Amino acid sequence: MTARRDTKQPKLLSGGNPQIPKGDGDAPVQAYLAAMPGWKRKAGQRLDALIVRAVPDVRKAVRWNTPFYGIEDAGWFLGFHCFAKYIKVCFLRGAALRPVPPVASKQEHARYFHIHEDEDLDEEVLRSWVEQAAGRPGEDLF
């Protein structure tokens, strides 16, 4: 008898956010990206690749059905989450970035950037934010 592989797709939560088990490293982040629905999958993969190019030694994890990016022994600087009509990118210390990402937060230091379908993504600005944010880690979320 051969073992049967579980090919069950992750459950999509409210807004299409994939339910991925908590885990450290690239594998759970890649599982999250692969489970992102529709256009968001390609956008999420593009965002992940941009982060890795900007911060080659980036630390990755999935917590609370959200991929997080950080610096080893320094803390987390970015996470993102699927919503029905956009991907919400959270810069955990985004208020210190220049230019400041456009969407305010209830958290004093956090700022957001939304990625929408069929919207031109200014990768130069996004890369600058990622590089600046990586220089300001420190959120110890877990």
Contacts of 79 (CB under 8 A, 6+ apart): 66, 67, 68, 69, 89, 90, 92
pLDDT digit string (tens) for 3-31? 544 557 889 898 889 999 999 999 999 99
Would you say the pTM of this structure is higher than 0.85? yes
Instruction: For residue 82, name the pLDDT band (cuts at 50, 70, 90).
Output: very high
DSSP 63: E
Rounded to a whole number of angstroms, the CA Rg of the chain reads 15
The angle at the Cα of 102, spanning 40 to 47, to the nearest 5 degrees, equals 30
What domains, with CATH codes, occur in the chain?
14-134 (3.90.1150.200)
